[in-house]
Amino acid sequence: MTLRVGIIGAGPSGMAQLRAFESARQNGAEIPHIMCFEKQDDWGGQWNSSWRTGLDAHGEPIHSSMYRHLWSNGPKECLEFSDYSFDEHFGRAISSFPPREVLFEYIKGRVEKSDVRKYVQFQTAARWVSYNELTQEFTLTVEDLPTGSTSEHIFDKLVVSTGHFSFPAAPEFTGINSFPGEVLHAHDFRGAERFAGKNILLIGSSYSAEDIGMQSHKMGAASVTFSYRSAPMGFDWPENTVERPLVTHFDANTAHFSDGSSGDFDAVVLCTGYQHKYPFLPSDLALKSKNVLYPANLYKGVVWQQNTNLFYLGAQDQYYTFNMFDAQAWFARDVMTGAVELPSLEAREADIERWLGLQAALLDHNAEADFQSEYLRELIAATDYPPFDLAAVSQLFKDWMGHKATDILGYRDMSHRSVVTGTLAAKHHTRWLNAMDDSLQRYLQG
Amino acid sequence: MTLRVGIIGAGPSGMAQLRAFESARQNGAEIPHIMCFEKQDDWGGQWNSSWRTGLDAHGEPIHSSMYRHLWSNGPKECLEFSDYSFDEHFGRAISSFPPREVLFEYIKGRVEKSDVRKYVQFQTAARWVSYNELTQEFTLTVEDLPTGSTSEHIFDKLVVSTGHFSFPAAPEFTGINSFPGEVLHAHDFRGAERFAGKNILLIGSSYSAEDIGMQSHKMGAASVTFSYRSAPMGFDWPENTVERPLVTHFDANTAHFSDGSSGDFDAVVLCTGYQHKYPFLPSDLALKSKNVLYPANLYKGVVWQQNTNLFYLGAQDQYYTFNMFDAQAWFARDVMTGAVELPSLEAREADIERWLGLQAALLDHNAEADFQSEYLRELIAATDYPPFDLAAVSQLFKDWMGHKATDILGYRDMSHRSVVTGTLAAKHHTRWLNAMDDSLQRYLQG
Ligand SMILES: Cc1cc2nc3c(=O)[nH]c(=O)nc-3n(C[C@H](O)[C@H](O)[C@H](O)COP(=O)(O)OP(=O)(O)OC[C@H]3O[C@@H](n4cnc5c(N)ncnc54)[C@H](O)[C@@H]3O)c2cc1C
Ligand SMILES: Cc1cc2nc3c(=O)[nH]c(=O)nc-3n(C[C@H](O)[C@H](O)[C@H](O)COP(=O)(O)OP(=O)(O)OC[C@H]3O[C@@H](n4cnc5c(N)ncnc54)[C@H](O)[C@@H]3O)c2cc1C
Ligand SMILES: NC(=O)c1ccc[n+]([C@@H]2O[C@H](COP(=O)([O-])OP(=O)(O)OC[C@H]3O[C@@H](n4cnc5c(N)ncnc54)[C@H](OP(=O)(O)O)[C@@H]3O)[C@@H](O)[C@H]2O)c1
Ligand SMILES: NC(=O)c1ccc[n+]([C@@H]2O[C@H](COP(=O)([O-])OP(=O)(O)OC[C@H]3O[C@@H](n4cnc5c(N)ncnc54)[C@H](OP(=O)(O)O)[C@@H]3O)[C@@H](O)[C@H]2O)c1
């Protein structure tokens, strides 16, 4: 019987899985019976963003955490598909840090060239999965959101590609329930225009805090205050931007910090990260992890240890994104079809342990970039995914981090060189700080 | 074998179901094996409100739509439990329109007097239900949210009491995605303090629009604009408050209305109601309905037509609340135990049709209040729930609506008389418009 493969989520990872099978088909292979379920009305995952917050038009949790004026925060050269370059898509060199719509266009471009959209049922949410040990089959119940009608589908292999930056992790703070201003998690941030002239407090010290803070600065916030739990970001911030240790409590609109200082704020944005959450999975199949480069319990970061018919894509914290999802999807495909043979449970466990050991020893961001490059190297070597110069990409990450350290408002104006085509990125017509129209149309104008 | 009853949700309706069995037990009856699952960490449903918006600490949809400074919008005399009066709980007369914390205290008071909390598993979300036609059993899968661990439970009878004012119905408007100010649904509104000095647009013309609009006025909004789809509310609004027909589109911060007028706004609150949504139910068991006084497919508004082992509580639009949930819970209990015998499918269908016919003919709010009173009369007559003077309560509703028509900012300062105890409500120490501390403590101060 033809293998039946179910894919949950058509973000970049789910799209990579579709593309992996399509690539095999083009190379003459017989491909499985594939069904992909996507709760939104288009593919693209995080890149398909919405003005809505909280719950969507069907009452489902809003998936995308993206917002107006979001630009890539890493160089596009670090995420380029090795089988579909930016040059191929845009027909000319573009800048290194494109805004959301431009990257959305790029990832759609690749899959729209092949006939894979037919596999996807949109506006269809995965509701519940059960696994029958005897028949080794998954039963996936999905809901067609416009009609509310539920149905069951049987699969031999199941791919979970639902992302892990959608369910906020939001701590409690004493007094926050009577803070009179706006309190929101980064997940519900949609633009900083309304923060003009305001004093903004951001709790957290990672990418969301950094970017929402600088978006607020760009849009004219009176002041930006970051509050960190572990360590300050330490960038060379613009004036009226400060870092403080963690909030201990709120008293009306005043936040008190653990160093005894305090400040009055108009709005609080909780940039405190996200939870891995798979509400459609029984607990024995659900990944539990912090946002780390190597979650435990996944062989090669992809295959569920206790049930090798189950696959996770994109479950890692991400230096690499699109090209990593590709490498994982090609690997998952080859495990499913048997082209890659899985070692024993013990051998897999030992491999996971080795990676976890390496991860535990990582000292800084540079080492992390190298670590994820090594991980990709191993994955790519195992399949026919077109290899690319991972050492060069690792260097791009380091250059980028250097630029951020030098100029946090200007790093997105720098140009990097593609390792796929050798093209040096174009200089963009407008500096990030001055760009007030983030549309694809404006971006592509000369 | 002892009947196994599962209850999903421990809001006022779920609490009523627990209380109904407890009342039977106190009267000497053998009661079923009961398990109640509540995703929040306390009971009280909507009344157990949180500063959080969108998703909660476990990534579950936030349940409560309530907010700071929310007071009862109907007289407490209309919702009083006939077996537990306000006088009994507070030991003295209190005012007719208590703030949220006071009503929360009242509903907890009744169940805390009896030993029913032991039936409730808190922080436990219903994930998926299946029904076995052969064994006539429900399998309910729940997730313990702190640990993520899922487990299955078998029940003969299942009660759905998860409310229907938690999943926003939020329409799309052209241009809203680039509205630069705050856009939120009433569900995520937590207080109007931040609207001081702002121009606020509220879309919708029902309770949420009215109350959030007047909260904004109370907190010093520069102007309040309501936009209606069907009809204006037509109250005698304070100055700087206007009603406009529906928004056609937004252009930056300008809203255009269908009468050709327009206005510039700082924030938009979508007060466009809620969806019945039961993401844990297969579609053949899930109620689909608008927010109406008599949803179809439920015999006596409670028993699922196609599977009489399934019960819904509180699924109606609500003039009556707590006492209606009681009447329903007592009825559901007696159907489960066999004390009330169900007529044939056809007879039940005819009964539903009769009620739907009456509903279709309702002309105004007064007629609606009478309709729901009649519904309660029938329910209460069927069980040993202590009867109360429904005609008198129906008159209270009409008096209340009269007061609203006369003075939309002052109706909450009026006093109504209890039909349970005959007590005339106390005059409150502070007018609603001037009250700036909505705590239980402040309320109870002399
Ligand atoms: C604010 C933000 C900014 C980012 N910026 C960048 C950036 O600049 N550059 C970069 O490379 N990466 C960025 N990322 C990282 C981003 O995670 C990846 O680019 C990429 O989107 C991950 O792809 P994915 O398919 O694994 O997950 P997602 O993109 O999250 O897609 C998952 C898909 O699964 C669907 N889904 C979820 N649950 C269900 C269900 N129950 N049933 C059916 N479908 C479901 C969702 O609707 C979604 O379409 C950013 C992330 C965030 C949160
Ligand atoms: C903004 C607002 C103001 C209101 N003001 C008033 C008022 O002034 N006076 C009045 O009488 N009524 C008011 N109401 C009406 C209110 O609906 C009722 O008072 C009452 O709370 C309804 O009780 P319920 O138990 O049916 O539903 P809810 O109160 O909604 O309780 C449902 C419970 O089910 C739980 N639940 C949901 N899903 C799951 C799941 N999957 N697993 C486990 N548990 C789950 C929830 O956490 C919640 O505790 C108001 C409603 C709203 C929205
Ligand atoms: N393109 C863009 O511009 C852009 C913008 C935003 C986000 N993103 C992407 O979105 C993804 C998520 O980034 P993220 O920053 O949201 O999450 P993240 O990288 O996981 O960081 C979470 C942050 O929250 C802090 N935190 C967690 N719990 C806390 C608590 N209880 N109290 C205080 N602080 C707490 C963490 O501090 P500790 O260090 O103490 O753990 C950390 O600083 C990343 O892939 C990122 O690249 C991209
Ligand atoms: N205690 C309090 O003070 C308080 C405060 C708020 C709410 N509540 C309670 O909360 C519950 C819900 O009240 P609610 O007002 O949120 O909901 P609701 O009573 O169901 O009203 C929904 C409103 O949204 C409008 N609407 C729906 N879809 C629309 C669309 N596409 N475009 C424009 N308008 C649209 C409806 O207009 P149409 O008339 O055109 O259909 C209606 O006015 C009630 O039980 C209420 O008592 C209590």
Q: How do residues A114-159 score in pLDDT, each as one tens digit?
A: 889 999 999 999 999 999 999 999 999 999 999 999 999 999 999 9
Predicted local confidence at residue A360, as pLDDT: 98
CA distance A129 to chain B (A): 10
Tokens standing for residue A130: 């059960």
pTM for the whole structure? 0.98
Verify whether the Cβ–Cβ distance A54 to B185 is below 8 Å. Answer: yes
Q: Which residues does a 6 A CB cutoff place in the pocket of ligand 3?
A: A 70, 72-73, 165, 169, 171, 186, 203-208, 211, 229-230, 246, 271-273, 291, 318
Is the predicted pLDDT of residue A446 greater than 90, yes or no? no
Tell me which chain A residue has its CA closest to the CA of residue B275: A59
Distance CA(B25)–CA(B18), nearest Å, equals: 11
Residue with token string 């009226």: A240
Chain centroid to CA B405: how far? 23
Verify whether the Cβ–Cβ distance B128 to A149 is below 8 Å. Answer: no
pLDDT digits (tens, 9 = 90+) for A315-333: 999 999 999 999 999 999 9
CB pairs under 8 A between A and B: 117
Interval between CA B207 and ligand 4 midpoint (Å): 5
Considering only CB atoms, A57 lies closest to which of B148, B170, B177, namely: B170
pLDDT, tens digit only, all 446 positions of chain B: 799 999 999 999 999 999 999 999 999 999 999 999 999 999 999 999 999 999 999 999 999 999 999 999 999 999 999 999 999 999 999 999 999 999 999 999 999 998 899 999 999 999 999 999 999 999 999 999 999 999 999 999 999 999 999 999 999 999 999 999 999 999 999 999 999 999 999 999 999 999 999 999 999 999 999 999 999 999 999 999 999 999 999 999 999 999 999 999 999 999 999 999 999 999 999 999 999 999 999 999 999 999 999 999 999 999 999 999 999 999 999 999 999 999 999 999 999 999 999 999 999 999 999 999 999 999 999 999 999 999 999 999 999 999 999 999 999 999 999 999 999 999 999 999 999 999 999 999 97
Ligand nearest to the CA of residue B17, numbered in listed order: 2
Burial A290-321 (b: 16+ CB within 10 A, else e): ebebbbebbbbbbbbeeeebbbbbbbbbbbbb
CA distance A243 to chain B (A): 24
Mean pLDDT across chain A: 98
Going by pLDDT thresholds of 50, 70 and 90, the confidence category of residue A38 is very high
End-to-end CA distance of chain B: 54
The backbone torsions φ and ψ at residue B111, rounded to the nearest 5 degrees and listed phi first, read: -75, -25
Distance CA(A317)–CA(A337), nearest Å, equals: 27
Predicted local confidence at residue A1, as pLDDT: 78
- Among B267, B260, B214, CA closest to B237: B214
Verify whether the Cβ–Cβ distance B55 to A187 is below 8 Å. Answer: yes
Q: Is B206 exposed, middle or buried (0-12, 13-18, 19+ CB in 10 A)?
A: middle
Helix (H, G, I), strand (E, B) or coil at B107: helix
Mean pLDDT within A337-351: 98
Predicted local confidence at residue B1, as pLDDT: 78
Distance CA(B245)–CA(B222), nearest Å, equals: 20
Helix (H, G, I), strand (E, B) or coil at A339: coil
Residues of A in contact with B64 (CB under 8 A): none
A198, B197 in Cβ contact below 8 A? no
Name the pairing type of β-strands A274-275 and A167-168: antiparallel
CA distance B150 to chain A (A): 5
Residues of B in contact with A128 (CB under 8 A): 127-128, 141
Considering only CB atoms, B182 lies closest to which of A194, A275, A277, namely: A194
Verify whether the Cβ–Cβ distance A55 to B282 is below 8 Å. Answer: no
Distance CA(B376)–CA(B388), nearest Å, equals: 10
A213, A223 in Cβ contact below 8 A? no
Verify whether the Cβ–Cβ distance A279 to B127 is below 8 Å. Answer: yes
DSSP secondary structure letter of residue B427? P
Q: How many residues does chain B have?
A: 446
Tell me which chain A residue has its CA closest to the CA of residue B189: A182
Verify whether the Cβ–Cβ distance B194 to A188 is below 8 Å. Answer: no
Is the predicted pLDDT of residue A178 greater than 90, yes or no? yes
B314, B11 in Cβ contact below 8 A? yes
- Rg of chain A in Å (alpha carbons): 22
CA distance B381 to chain A (A): 36
Verify whether the Cβ–Cβ distance A183 to B170 is below 8 Å. Answer: no
Residue with token string 């969108």: B54
- Among A74, A48, A135, CA closest to A323: A74
pLDDT digits (tens, 9 = 90+) for A191-210: 999 999 999 999 999 999 99
Q: Which atom of ligand 2 is nearest to the CA of B73?
A: 8
Q: Which atom of ligand 4 is nearest to the CA of B229?
A: 40
